[in-house]
Amino acid sequence: MYELLFITTVALLITFGTGSSRADPRDQSRSYYDNNGSFSGSSIDHGKDASFYDRNGRFSGSAIRNSNGTTSFYDKSGHFTGSSVDTTPKR
């Protein structure tokens, strides 16, 4: 009885435990530094959107890449703060 319970538990941990503990491969972190070389913050790219954090690790805003080539920016309260247009030439 305990052997079956043990095997079932191990199978569930392998199935669900390892998949949920891995970061999504598209989630990439980037650090930013000021002119003096001091750490000033970081961002995490989630694919279509990115989150930004200050030097203390507090959330400071986000950006979302839209399908029309623009990027929309939001502050830490979720309020729209502006946008930009992708001017990179298409290949």
Taking only the tens place, the pLDDT of each residue in 27-79 is: 788 898 989 999 989 999 988 889 999 889 999 999 998 888 889 999 999 99
Q: Which amino acid is at 85?
A: V
CB atoms within 10 A of CB 52: 19
What would the pLDDT profile of 8-31 be if each residue is shown by its tens digit?
454 444 444 444 444 555 678 889
Does 15 reside within a domain? Answer: no
Q: How many domains does the chain have?
A: 1
CB atoms within 10 A of CB 63: 19
Segments forming the whole domain that contains residue 79: 61-86
Does 23 reside within a domain? Answer: no
Predicted local confidence at residue 53, as pLDDT = 93
